[in-house]
Amino acid sequence: MSFYPPRRTLMGPGPSDVYPRVSEALSRPTIGHLDPEFIRLMDEIKGLLQYAFQTDNALTLPVSAPGSAGMETCFVNLFEPGDQVIVLQNGVFGGRMQENVTRLGGQAIVAKTPWGRAVDLEQAESTIKQHPEAKAVAFVHAETSTGAMSDATALCNMASSAGMLSIVDTVTGLGGIEVAVDKWGADAVYSGTQKCLSCVPGLSPVTFSPRSQKVISSRNTPVQSWFLDLNLVMAYWGEGTQRAYHHTAPVNALYALHEALTMLKEEGLQASWQRHSDNHQALKAGLNAMGLELIVPAESRLPQLNAVAVPESVDEARVRQQLLAEFNLEIGAGLGELAGRVWRIGLMGCSSNPTNVRTCLAALEHCLLSQGVKLEAGAAVAAASAHYGH
């Protein structure tokens, strides 16, 4: 029997709601992965990704698999067994970076910042100083597990000053906050499609600086993964009209990505960031009016991912289940050490809009009231509306 999904409002840590234009693009007729028209599409996607990433990097493409494969693409291509990599960890995804380094036979030097905080710059500086032999510094720009934003400019600068490469995870960042790969001087950056791009999940945009591209092409050992080996992938995603078959690209998902990136360009990067910021401020005003607090300090909050502390008396899982059952509204649970302690409310891409903010606040208020939390009914939505000025 065919599967008909319920119609949810997606306000978790991703996937976010998909733009109708993107869904429609997804179902356009499949063509071959070596069709001249498809090669043209690939070139356009490359250009649109360069716009989104704000980079001139030639090696910019979507990996044919989700964000964790994008992460792995960066690590397995840039590093060889024995390499030392400094991992500045402040959440789940920094932990995954460490796993990547270890599994490829590298040595991860881990410096931890408490979860919910931006990566500590002084600690980063001193770790880099203590390990001049390290090949790279890796960190998460937008930590999806906590909602913390780290200072990519400062951290990439530290890395390059020390002669090290910088690896940046901005899976949740791209399209929602400033991502400026060339300005940062970042060497390898990966993202996802199902967050602030409001495209379907399954692809991972990546970009590599000329410096890191050179590292990849002059390795001593082959990349451990055949599928992710960029030296092979580039024969397919590279320049010119003659492309060699490497793997069969996920053709329809790439139609969707092209459409989502086209929409981002139509809106403009600045306008998109501003929209994400506005809706975040409105949500925050509403949450505060209910007595709820964000766990990340104001200066390093991701507007698109709001980690909310669960009040002591509240059964957090019951709230999420009730939101889903009664409002068809998905918000996220905590991950790792924040499991059971926070909700993660996403305002990403298409999902970042005033209707979603108000709906989420009203629904959350209803659930908290039903668990006996004392609230001034209606105050949350009113506070959000006041922020919007109407």
**Cβ(356)–Cβ(345) below 8 Å:** no
Among 4-12, 131-139, 299-307, 359-367, the segment contacting a second copy (CB under 8 A):
4-12
Q: What is the DSSP string of 259-279?
A: HHHHHHHHH-HHHHHHHHHHH
Rounded Cα distance between 320 and 205, Å, is 31
**Cβ(345)–Cβ(23) below 8 Å:** no
> Please, what is the minimum distance in Å from the beta carbon of residue 237 to a second copy?
14
- Contact flag: residue 252 with a second copy (CB under 8 A): yes
By beta-carbon proximity to a second copy, the closer residue of 345 and 380 is: 345
By CB under 8 A, the count of residues binding a second copy is 74
By beta-carbon proximity to a second copy, the closer residue of 67 and 91 is: 67
Rounded Cα distance between 141 and 191, Å, is 10
The beta strands (E) that lie in the chain are given as: 9-11, 59-63, 84-89, 107-112, 136-140, 142-143, 148-149, 165-169, 188-190, 204-208, 305-309, 329-333, 342-346
Residue list 197-226, contact with a second copy (CB under 8 A): 200-202, 222-226
Rounded Cα distance between 217 and 165, Å, is 15
By beta-carbon proximity to a second copy, the closer residue of 115 and 255 is: 255
- Contact flag: residue 103 with a second copy (CB under 8 A): yes
Rounded Cα distance between 235 and 243, Å, is 6
By beta-carbon proximity to a second copy, the closer residue of 23 and 84 is: 23
- Contact flag: residue 173 with a second copy (CB under 8 A): no
By beta-carbon proximity to a second copy, the closer residue of 303 and 334 is: 334
> Please, what is the minimum distance in Å from the beta carbon of residue 136 to a second copy?
17
Residue list 6-45, contact with a second copy (CB under 8 A): 6-8, 10, 12, 14-15, 17-18, 21, 23-33, 35-38, 41, 44
Rounded Cα distance between 342 and 241, Å, is 50
By beta-carbon proximity to a second copy, the closer residue of 98 and 212 is: 98
By beta-carbon proximity to a second copy, the closer residue of 34 and 121 is: 34
SS3 323: helix
- Contact flag: residue 68 with a second copy (CB under 8 A): yes
> Please, what is the minimum distance in Å from the beta carbon of residue 226 to a second copy?
5
Find, among 183, 86, 78, 75, the residue nearest to 125 by Cα: 86
Q: Tell me which of 124, 148, 215, 253 binds a second copy, using CB under 8 A.
A: 253
Residue list 311-330, contact with a second copy (CB under 8 A): 324, 330
